[in-house]
């Protein structure tokens, strides 16, 4: 009887360990990466719109970026872990750069709505500088 309990115990322990491992290894969605993939599509489309002088096609893909950004913000509010590939301890600085970036992005979108491609072009240059700067620092 004792031996059976012992064997059952071991089986139970292994099963439990397996379950815990399975939960721990469940891949966490990388929300920043998801936002960035949307951002990359929107930015590529923006360049295309500039080249072809098509202000109307600019905004659409940025709506997806906005959705992805909201998810990141919610995760930060809920104190879920978001890990930056580089300089993770400077998360506040990352947030600050991200906020500045989004101010410039809003200006670009407003210019696109007003069909002012001169300002769109200027803002696009600024945005590109942000992509490069932030990646050098945090990616
Ligand atoms: C405020 C900081 C910041 C700005 C601004 C920023 N990025 Fe990123 N980006 C990141 C970080 C951090 C990662 C790495 C995410 C990861 O791998 O966890 C990243 C990753 C990426 C990736 C790789 C995604 C993948 O599949 O691995 C692309 C593409 C990208 N960014 C495009 C852009 C473009 C285009 C812009 C500008 C229009 C931009 N990013 C602006 C922080 C930024």
**Burial 83-95, CB ≥16 within 10 A → b, else e:** eeeeeeeeeeebe
Per-residue confidence (pLDDT) for residue 115, from 0 to 100 = 98
Q: How many whole angstroms separate alpha carbon 77 and alpha carbon 26?
A: 22
Kindly give the parts of the chain with pLDDT less than 50: none
Place of tokens 């099963």: 15
Q: How many whole angstroms separate alpha carbon 45 and alpha carbon 21?
A: 42
All residues at 6 or more sequence positions from 107 whose CB lies less than 8 Å from its CB, including other chains = 119, 123
Residue 29's nearest CA partner among 63, 75, 92 is 75
Per-residue confidence (pLDDT) for residue 5, from 0 to 100 = 62
Atom index in ligand 1 nearest the CA of residue 40 equals 35
Across the chain, what does the average pLDDT equal?
90
- How many whole angstroms from 16 Cα to the centroid of ligand 1? 38
Per-residue confidence (pLDDT) for residue 29, from 0 to 100 = 87
Handedness of CA 78, 82, 88, 92 (dihedral sign): negative
Per-residue confidence (pLDDT) for residue 12, from 0 to 100 = 62
Per-residue confidence (pLDDT) for residue 9, from 0 to 100 = 62
Atom index in ligand 1 nearest the CA of residue 97 equals 1
Structure tokens at 4: 């059976």
pTM of the entire predicted model: 0.84
Output the ligand 1 site: residues, CB below 6 A. Answer: 30, 32-33, 36-37, 39-40, 43, 84-85, 94, 97-98, 101, 127, 130-131, 134-135, 138-139
CATH architecture of structural domain 31-138 = Up-down Bundle (1.20)
């Amino acid at each position: 009887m004792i031996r059976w309990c012992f064997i059952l115990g071991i089986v139970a322990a292994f099963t439990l360990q397996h379950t815990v491992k399975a939960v721990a290894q469940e891949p966490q969605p990388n929300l920043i990466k998801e936002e960035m993939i949307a951002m990359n599509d929107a930015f590529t489309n923006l360049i295309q719109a500039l080249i072809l002088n098509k202000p109307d096609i600019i905004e659409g893909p940025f709506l997806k970026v906005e959705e992805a950004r909201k998810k990141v913000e919610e995760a930060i509010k809920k104190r879920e872990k978001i890990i930056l590939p580089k300089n993770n301890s400077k998360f506040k600085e990352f947030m600050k750069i991200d906020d500045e970036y989004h101010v410039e992005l809003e200006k670009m979108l407003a210019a696109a709505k007003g069909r002012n491609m001169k300002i769109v072009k200027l803002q696009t240059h600024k945005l590109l500088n942000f992509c490069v700067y932030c990646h050098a620092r945090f990616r």
